[in-house]
A and B are shown apart, each in its own frame.
Chain A
């Protein structure tokens, strides 16, 4: 049995196991959850070390027949296919590493219904890992939805005051998107008589252009909602703000990456032609998202909401980099997904720690915290700098690569993106000043305890990773090199083909008769 099967289903087994533990023994529950997630993290590290970054094709493949559907000409096998390649490896490992931290971070604020919390958390982990690992469209959709329901309960049960509103909004937005995706997915499977991702890549050109376009956009819509790209971003601020700290970390760290991962995998890799044709749409949305998110963040009075809005801005960078469709852009975007997971995850942890002590998130209730919590201040400043893109830390590498890549494709939107870096520094440093520095005006804040060993232990690994990526990004970039180079080349080829097609006044997207015959003979 492949390692990937264990990585995907170990959390699920853990969830079932924990469901049978006594609900009152909180300590045992926490230890069990930590044990399961740590085990998965170890497996993730094994996967990391055994993964060869120079190969473009998926590795550690695991394929079994699942079921068949009768469609059009014949039966289409739907397979249980898992595999990991350069596009997904970083996200898989990030997910596995982040989970024990999330479990540990739940100590402070998950005090009631602990058992249910961990069950949902582990189910969600299985779903998320499945999303990144599945190489079959239907299987992907399956995991996509499986990862959704747990968050409904995590935000809805353990969330903040306005959690009901946030939960329903988030759930409706996401499911609406994913059902549109389901329709597009079925149309795609029907059109090409296959649901194998690796088989479909490279064959989508056989479909008529109009069909390709609407399928591409049905996928893009679902992922754009999940990311979220600009007009769909409103659920994010609410869900992030109302989620419990560990939920926010997971949302920022992994769940949003499902959207950007989807855009890369099902937008660009599956439909390179469409991505080239409509890249400008996403460039505009990405760049606007950067600026708009930054402005939103500046206007917030709630610290957690500020961090949530900064997510919109940071993920704008990722979208910008992806749809620059240049090699540095895409590689930078993939790295930036990880960066955002680390930095924003850290920020949410920090906000959560402060909230547990003060029971408020309002910026005007803070000030001068650095004098009472010096260790906390160190971590806070470090994280802010990482998030703002200080050279030597992770954010800089990602943003630099993205902007360099975008400049190649479109100097205008690269320029707009650069302003986002400046605005980012503005709101992050402003928040730092208002929280940490200045006079300690509120008496309640004078007795705050500094962060303890557990909290440092949670944050330290993430900080180490931040520095590592900032100093030696090649460790991570090399793992993605094979797949992303191949992808960039394919997109480039597509671009050249399209330009040539336009030059001679016709575009040949429709299936040439040769391929149709080839399909029949197969």
Chain B
């Protein structure tokens, strides 16, 4: 038997008895003086203000999630480092398997993928504490950075193109509305 159920039962039993015996014992021997102050919740001596059920700023969660990336990284890199150590020393299960270089490449791949995740978060602006709600729309870089004045013909062509684009947009919008 891998499981010795009696142990579990005894463990659970002792735990329950310990908890409730102490509570009951305390209620028997403690002095009983009822007052309003005794009914208040307290924590480290501070008065509570407001309700505990409030909305936290979403940014706390974002940061927590970003933190998880690195927490996980560390959790996974420890065993990796141990195996790498064994490989270098030529001991343990990995002895003679010749996977040293392979392990190192894998480790860096892993970190690279996590870094990509960080880059993603960064690029999406989730690392900015002050969020830019009204960020200007992204403008593609023009081929010719120097400002040149368009000719009249070009301007006219542009207007026509705009008019055409509007004409196309109109029925599309109608379709969606329908």
Do A and B touch (CB < 8 Å)? Answer: no
Write the residues of chain B forming the contact surface with A, with a CB cutoff of 8 angstroms: none
Write the residues of chain A forming the contact surface with B, with a CB cutoff of 8 angstroms: none
